[in-house]
Structure 1
Amino acid sequence: MFQTGTVILRALSLAFLLSLQGAGAIEVDHVISFAMFAQTNAPTGEFMYEFDEDEMFYVDRDKKETIWQLSEFGRGLSFDSQGGLTNIAIAKSNLDIMTENSNHTQAASEPPEVTVFPKKPVELGQPNTLICHVDRFFPPVLNVTWLRNGQPVTEGVSESVFLPRTDYNFHKFHYLTFVPSDEDVYDCKVEHWGLQEPSLNHWEAQEPVQVTEATETVVCALGLVVGLVGIITGTVLITRALRSSRDPRAQGPL
């Protein structure tokens, strides 16, 4: 069942993203787009909207409600979650029909590219957020675990929904709120069918380089020396030029 699901999902993603790609040939100021998919593995379906590639909202299938990612988007807009749920149900029905008529060939899995970085410049002892960006993968089936000093972390974690890419793959963000310390190290552990083994992506706070008072003094002294050498060199060149202009032997015949 899973193999067929991945085949149909690839086709649905292709149809949607090709429509976006065609629209991209026209230069516009802003773009609203939506993504929807259905598959046999969890998550079995998703419906979401984007504005200029920023997630606006998604329909939570379990809670049966619209979840706005930014309050600014939800102030002047509304979306009935039932509309998204209906679209997912239709896609699931189409998936079942296409499954019965497919050759059960498994779609190729694309392994993810993972990057871990802090949301803000790191200051030890100051609250921050670690971001694990999982990019360019297919199908949208993923398991991500945060580790602190090798131990799983479950508090302060959140994630985005699966976000579509114009190359027919997906990307996703996972977040961890934390307080940076020089004693803690973090890993974003990613499991995906395109990987032979889980991917561990390491991050730890780097000690800021301390500039000593002696170093500052040396740098200032060097700057002063370079400035003086420049002044002396300029003065010598100007003096020579003036002397040459006054020397009759330096002038050519009339």
Structure 2
Amino acid sequence: MYEFDGDEQFYVDLDREETVWGLQEFSTVYAFDAQEALPYIVSLKNNLRALIQRHNVTQVPSEPPEVAVFPKNPVELGQPNVLICHIDRFFPPVLNVTWLRNGQLVTEGTSETVFLPSTELRFHKFHYLTFVPTAEDVYDCKVEHWGLGEPRLSHWEVQESVQVTETMETAVCALGLVVGLVGITIGSVLIVRALLQP
């Protein structure tokens, strides 16, 4: 993977032996031939395998992930949106992530990123679910990782927001205006009375 300024530009898919661009626009500006890189990657893998065999290395402990689920855009009932499951700060980069709607497995409309490097030699990853929000549906992002004793469910459902109607806004504004005018009138009367008393 190659990144610039913290953003992934491309990576090489070793199974398909091709370059995968983060945005297609990058491929018009930059060029990277995955075929030329393959011999170097094979050499690096062989060197790594030899180093592992020659040295007694204890296994690094697993770091459990932090999971958060949130919508891409502000939620409007009946309007298509995308749920994002952000899995962060975990090691090793091995995960099993599934989406659940009302406790049932969802397979359509899902996508994911590759494992992305994070701080302190950990990783993070995004999983996406395209959905149409309704008041009845609840969604869970189920994450399984070696660092977790049991799968972690991160829950999301439509939050009922209390929206103030225009009539209520107008009434509050009018009430504020009336209270202000009454205050000015009473204040003026009290000041005039105080000035007239000997």
Return the TM-score normalized by structure 1: 0.69
Distance, in Å, in 2 between the alignment partners of 1:206 and 1:131 is 16
Partner of 2:24: 71
Q: Which moved more, 1:56-65 or 1:220-229?
A: 220-229
Q: Please list every run of 5 or more consecutive structure 2 residues that lacks an aligned counterpart in the other structure.
A: none
Structure 1 residue 74, shift from structure 2 partner: 1.9
Give me the identity figure in percent. 70
Structure 1 residue 108, shift from structure 2 partner: 1.1
Partner of 2:133: 180
Q: Which moved more, 1:102-111 or 1:189-198?
A: 102-111
Structure 1 residue 236, shift from structure 2 partner: 6.7
Secondary structure of residue in 1 paired with 2:148: coil
1:147, 1:153 within 8 Å by CA — same for their partners in 2?
Answer: yes
**1:216 partner letter:** E
Structure 1 residue 175, shift from structure 2 partner: 0.8
Matched, 1:167 2:117: no
Instruction: Mark the CA change 1:235 to 1:136 in structure 2 (over 3 Å): closer, same or farther.
Output: farther
2:89, 2:119 within 8 Å by CA — same for their partners in 1?
Answer: no
Partner of 2:159: 206
Secondary structure of residue in 2 paired with 1:167: coil
Q: Which moved more, 1:165-174 or 1:194-203?
A: 165-174
Partner of 1:10: none
2:65, 2:88 within 8 Å by CA — same for their partners in 1?
Answer: yes
Partner of 1:17: none
Structure 1 residue 63, shift from structure 2 partner: 1.4
Distance, in Å, in 2 between the alignment partners of 1:120 and 1:199 is 24
Instruction: Mark the CA change 1:66 to 1:212 in structure 2 (over 3 Å): closer, same or farther.
Output: same
Question: How many residues are treated as equivalent by the alignment?
Answer: 198
Matched, 1:137 2:83: no
Within the candidate set 169, 175, 178, 1:225 is matched to 178
Instruction: Mark the CA change 1:98 to 1:212 in structure 2 (over 3 Å): closer, same or farther.
Output: same
Secondary structure of residue in 1 paired with 2:133: coil
Partner of 1:149: 102
4+ residue runs of structure 1 moved beyond 6 angstroms?
236-241
2:112, 2:127 within 8 Å by CA — same for their partners in 1?
Answer: yes
Distance, in Å, in 1 between the alignment partners of 2:68 and 2:102 is 18
RMSD over aligned Cα, in angstroms?
Answer: 2.7
1:148, 1:187 within 8 Å by CA — same for their partners in 2?
Answer: yes
Secondary structure of residue in 2 paired with 1:208: coil
Distance, in Å, in 2 between the alignment partners of 1:185 and 1:201 is 11
1:160, 1:172 within 8 Å by CA — same for their partners in 2?
Answer: yes
Secondary structure of residue in 1 paired with 2:45: helix
**1:105 partner letter:** T
Distance, in Å, in 1 between the alignment partners of 2:31 and 2:186 is 72
Structure 1 residue 233, shift from structure 2 partner: 6.9
1:31-63 Cα distance to aligned partner (Å, 9 max, x none): xxxxxxxxxxxxxxxxx1122212211111121
Distance, in Å, in 2 between the alignment partners of 1:124 and 1:199 is 27
Distance, in Å, in 2 between the alignment partners of 1:75 and 1:117 is 33
**1:138 partner letter:** F
Structure 1 residue 210, shift from structure 2 partner: 3.8
Partner of 1:88: 41
**1:114 partner letter:** V
1:227-250 Cα distance to aligned partner (Å, 9 max, x none): 325544775798699x6xxxxxxx
